[in-house]
Structure 1
Amino acid sequence: MLEGVNVALGITGSIAAVKTVELAHELRRQGAAVRGVMTDSAQGIIHPWAVEFATENEVVTEITGGVEHVDLCGYDGWADVFLIAPATANTVGKIAGAVDDTPVTTCATTALGADTPVVVAPAMHEPMYDHPGVLEAIDTVSEWGINFVDPRIEEGKAKIASEEAIVCDVARAAGDRPLEGEHIVVTSGATSESIDPVRVITNRSSGKMGRAVAKACYVRGADATLVHDGPDVPYAETRRVESASEMLAATRDACSDADALVSAAAIGDYTVEESDEKIRSGQELTLELEPTPKLIDELRTAYPDLPIVGFKTETSGDEAAMIEQARKTLERAGLAFVVANDASVMGSETTRALLVHADDAARYEGTKTGLGSEIADSIAAVLGVESADG
């Protein structure tokens, strides 16, 4: 996600500084090069040697005649993005007032003047985060283009955001944003049909592919909505559903102002009439299965002009047959393109897939994260062509 990106990591005197070693490791796992910048207060919480170990680079602890702030964040500086994590109330207020009395605030002022993207992950006690002056400072620097990663409000504290949230916002700030201003709806994972209050009919879909698509769209600037049976995620508005009918209703509602839909969910093909009470075990039982509506057909009827990306999962393993089935779906529902894959990849971190368009099909083999990026880029191309024609 951050391949080739240089991140200057500013660390200030919040207790959340203890998390920056692992944050630096995660940035590097995602492909970034990292150099640390620390305030005196931060050095009282975590030793610069720990940050040097995590980044494999020397740490800036003071501004000297080497003008480290310019080297890092100035015009043609090393950093592609300046990340301050954690950022204290004190530091946010100083940035808003152009006060440069620490290496971190001096780098921030330099980055803002040089149009180097700045991402801030605040961490402090909740009453400090609610202080009118702090809120005003956040609004001020947000208007200047600083990107804030919202903290998690827990136990009376505004805790630093998750590593996943911070990495996503760094990638979004540092990269191109071809989907900026676009609203992309993604369905993901399995649905479940209740047999009784205890038992359900479901499938083996993990939802990894849909989440990867939503994340890739967010990194490329989109406002993403994720419809799934899962927890909230930091890169999308989450709409929690369980059954096929709930997914259809939530997706139809989310698409009222959408620019594209990616139907990655493995929606159950059948439902049953639910028993009000638990069915006792040990007895023979016959379930009458009723087909569920096809989501892409229902959404195509509701939104005739909406670009829709479909998924087609097969078990044959025959590439020609997969392409044939994908093209049937593409033509039936008027889809932008179809991602065809084999059911054997369900639950795996890797995948093999075919991106099937009307006239061609492109093979992909690799991680689901990588395929999510390919799909997001293809959506950007589809929307770009449509806006150019319009």
Structure 2
Amino acid sequence: MLEGVNVALGVTGSIAAVKTVELAHELRRQGAEVRGVMTGSAQGIIHPWAVEFATDNEVVTEITGSVEHVELCGNDGWADVFLIAPTTANTVGKIAGAVDDTPVTTCATTALGADTPVVIAPAMHEPMYDHPGVLEAIDTVAAWGVDFVDPRIEEGKAKIASEEAIVCDVARAAGERSLEGERVVVTSGATAEAIDPVRVITNRSSGKMGRAVARACYARGAEVTLVHGVVGPRPIGDGDGPPETDGDGNLPYATVRHVESASEMLTATREVCADADALVSAAAIGDYTVEGSDEKIRSGQERSLDLEPTPKLIDEIREARPDLPIVGFKTETSGDETAMIEQARETLERAGLAFVVANDASVMGSDRTAALLVHDADAARYEGTKAGLGGEIADSIAAIV
């Protein structure tokens, strides 16, 4: 997500500075080059050597005759984005007043004057975050085009945002925002049809591909809504950590509508597509439903289920929105590339899609994928991570909306 991006990482004197090492590692895992800048207060919480180790670069702890602030964040400076994480109330107020008495605030003033993107991740006690002067400073700085990564309000504290939220906003700030102002809907995950209150008919989709597309669209400036099936992993980050959703179930990069059945997914998608600019239908929606029992069916007896076909979501949305750009997904098991392209083209033509992503069912649940992006006249091969494919899809959407 951050391949080729240079991030100057400002660290201030919040106790959340103890998370700086992991944040720097995550920025680098996402492809960024990172250089640290620390206030004196931050050095009392985490040693500059730790930040040097995490970034594999020397850390700026004072501004000298080498004018480090200009070299990093000035006109034609090294940094593509200046990230301050964590940011204290003191630092936000100083930035708003152009007070330059630490390496971090001096870099911030320089970056703002040079139009270098700035991202701020506040972290402080909740009463400090609610102080009228702090809120006014945040509003002032935000009006200058600075991106704020909202903290998590928990246990009386405005805790620093998750690493995923910070990475997504850094990518958004550093990128070209080719989808700025566009509203993109993405469906993801699996649906489930209830046999009884305990059992369901479902499939093996994990939702990783849909979330990768949603994340990539957000990084390019889009307003993203994710309609996510509840089967399989709940929407989380790329790793195995805890869910990154907020109290309303939303992700850092998308407003989330949680659904279970194919019918619920169709209803939710129809609603959010009413004012959408594009739809990416990446969910593995069940092709059949069943009339479920209100009570648990007892085991140990033979049972037949009458399956009824579910409506095709892309056909239903196409009927409601004739001109909406729609990207479809087609999963096959044959392993025959020619057959995959033929099936994808049939779907492409039937529903009037922008293009279809065809892949083999073997990639379900994996972080890597191999796919064909099938258009009217050609089919482009892709092999790599789902995050990378998400970027390819987002770029293709930006070219047509």
State the TM-score bracket (shorter-chain normalisation): over 0.9
2:318 equivalent among 296, 300, 305: 300
Paired residue secondary structure (1:328): helix
Match of 1:50 in 2: 50
Residues 273-292 of structure 1 aligned to structure 2 (within 5 Å) = 273-292=291-310
Matching residue of 1:15: 15
Equivalent position amino acid for 1:135 in 2: L
Q: Give the whole-Å Cα distance in 2 for the aligned partners of 1:133 and 1:250.
A: 41
User: What SS does structure 2 have at the residue aligned with 1:84?
Assistant: strand
351-360 or 273-282, larger mean C-alpha shift: 273-282
1:316 is paired with a residue of what secondary structure?
coil
Q: Which residue of 2 aligns with 1:148?
A: 148
Mapped to 2, the partners of 1:296 and 1:153 lie a distance apart of 38
SS of aligned partner of 2:272: helix
- How far the C-alpha of 1:371 sits from its partner, in A, is 0.6
Q: Alpha-carbon deviation of 1:84?
A: 0.1
Q: Write out aligned runs for 1:203-352 (5 A).
A: 203-229=203-229, 230-231=234-235, 232-352=250-370
For 1:128 and 1:280, how far apart are their aligned partners in 2?
57
Amino acid in the other structure paired with 1:90:
N
Post-superposition shift, 1:285?
A: 1.1
Task: For residue 8 of structure 1, give the secondary structure of its aligned residue in structure 2.
Answer: strand
| 2:286 alignment partner AA | G
* Structure 2: distance between partners of 1:202 and 1:378: 30
Read off the aligned partner of 1:46 and give its amino acid letter: I
Note the alpha carbon deviations across 1:327-348, whole angstroms, 9 max, x for none.
Answer: 1101100000000111111111
Distance 1:278 1:92 in 2: 57
SS in 2 for 1:262: strand
Q: Which runs of 5+ in 1 are unaligned?
A: 384-390
1:85 paired to 2:85: yes
Shift of residue 73 of structure 1?
0.6
Between the aligned partners of 1:236 and 1:19, the Cα distance in structure 2 is 24
Other structure's SS at 2:371 match: strand
1:170 matched residue in structure 2:
170
Aligned partner of 2:384: which letter?
G
CA offset at residue 43 of structure 1?
A: 0.6
CA deviation vs aligned residue, 1:130-161 (integer Å, no higher than 9, x gap): 11111111111111010001111111111111
Pairs within 5 Å for 1:127-206: 127-206=127-206
Which whole-Å CA distance do the structure 2 matches of 1:133 and 1:288 have between them?
A: 64
Equivalent-residue separation in structure 2 for 1:302 and 1:317 (angstroms): 34
Partners of 1:241 and 1:97 in 2: how far apart? 46
Secondary structure at 2:315 match in 1: helix
State the alpha-carbon separation in 1 of the partners of residues 263 and 135 from structure 2: 41
Unpaired segments of 5 or more residues in structure 2?
A: 236-249
1:72 partner amino acid: L
Separation of aligned partners in 2, 1:315 and 1:59: 51
Alpha-carbon distance in structure 1 between the residues aligned to 2:358 and 2:315? 17
Pairing 1:59–2:83 present: no
Corresponding position of 2:393? 375
Q: Distance in 2 between matches of 1:267 and 1:156?
A: 41
Q: Aligned AA for 1:367?
A: T
* 1:54 positional shift: 0.6
Counterpart in the other structure of 2:105: 105
**1:211 Cα offset (Å):** 0.4
- For 1:386, the equivalent position in structure 2 comes to none
* 1:233 Cα deviation after fit: 1.7
Q: Secondary structure at the match of 2:400?
A: helix
Distance in 2, matches of 1:133 and 1:283, equals 69
Q: CA deviation at 1:286?
A: 1.0
Indicate the residue corresponding to 1:387 in structure 2: none
Residue aligning to 2:242: none
- Quote how far apart the aligned CAs of 1:201 are: 0.8
Cα RMSD between the aligned structures?
Answer: 0.8
- For residues 55 and 133 of structure 1, the distance between their equivalents in structure 2, rounded to whole angstroms, comes to 34
CA distance in 1, matches of 2:334, 2:312: 22
Distance 2:209 2:66 in 1: 46
1:354 aligns with 2:357: no
Give the aligned residue type for 2:211. Answer: R
Shift of 1:56: 1.1
Cα deviation, residue 29, structure 1: 1.1
How many residue pairs match? The answer is 383
Q: Match of 1:382, SS?
A: coil
| Counterpart for residue 388 of structure 1 | none
CA shift for structure 1 position 110 = 0.6
Instruction: Show the counterpart of 2:40.
Output: 40
TM score, norm. by length of structure 2: 0.94
Structure 2: which amino acid aligns with 1:316?
Answer: S
Q: Percent identity at matched positions? A: 86
Alignment partners' CA distance in 1, 2:257 and 2:152? 19
